[in-house]
Amino acid sequence: IIPDCKNGGTLVEENGKFKCNCPLNTFGDDCNCRFKFTNATSLFPDPYAERLVSDSAECDENCANDIRCSTSTMTYLKKCKLYETPVIFVSYDEDLCIEKCNEMSEYCRYKYSNVKSLTPRAYAERTVSDSAKCDENCANDTKCSTSTTWLGTCLRYKTPIIFVSLDGKEDQCIEKCNEMSECKTICTQNHTRNFSCYLFNVTLDKIPDNMKRPYKANYKVAEKICD
């Protein structure tokens, strides 16, 4: 399939596949998203942990084994710095930073909120033998938009919730939202022993107020800013 490049995108072939290279500081399928630089605010993200390691592979492994970690980097002193969302990549090279964000456009399509957190609740819970039975319960309930199984209990949800996962990591949650065109908002909850992902088919302002809570660092809310 040869894509129709828009908004100044250039058609290129890479590994036998065609894609659109977007102009500098733009990204997205149609090159319709761009960076807005600000001279009003500076950011100094701090790692939540630093550990001495032997090499970058060990640093990457430390991050992969820590549910809280979204990305990591190693200094020349072999100090591994671990970061959590909304930080998703760290580099000391400006050109590489912009290039990497273009490559990771699925992350750059989301605007994180530091004002609200969300606490979605299931409207029904029922003990089930397996996840297939839970899916069947949801399919036979006109109120049910999605369901998930947790510790032998089937949890049923209604719209605007359209997907729930009670394990995994944030990148998997974002990937799922990218796959679902109807997905507009992501909510994640990062607890010590488990990670929860909730997807909504409406923007944050249209999510019922009874699901909204004051902002908490381990509860992330992000809206799609372009498709």
Amino acid 25: pLDDT: 60
What number is the average pLDDT over the span 129-139?
A: 94
Q: Give the model confidence (pLDDT) of 160-189 as tens digits.
A: 999 999 987 888 888 888 888 899 999 998
- Topology classification of domain 1-40: Laminin (2.10.25)
Domain assignments of the chain as residue spans, ordered by start: 1-40, 49-103, 113-224
- What's the whole-number average pLDDT of the chain? 85
Q: Give the model confidence (pLDDT) of 42-60 as tens digits.
A: 778 899 999 999 999 999 9
3-state secondary structure (DSSP) of residue 176:
helix
Question: Strand (E) positions, the chain?
Answer: 10-14, 17-21, 26-27, 33-34, 49-52, 71-74, 79-83, 110-113, 116-118, 124-127, 146-150, 153-157, 161-165, 185-190, 195-200, 212-214, 219-224
Q: How confident is the model at residue 192 (pLDDT cuts 50, 70, 90)?
A: confident
Handedness of CA 119, 122, 128, 130 (dihedral sign): negative
Q: Which pair of tokens denotes residue 55?
A: 């090499």
Q: What percent of the chain has pLDDT over 70?
A: 86
Q: Give the model confidence (pLDDT) of 79-108 as tens digits.
A: 999 999 889 899 877 767 767 776 666 555
- What pTM was computed for the model? 0.58
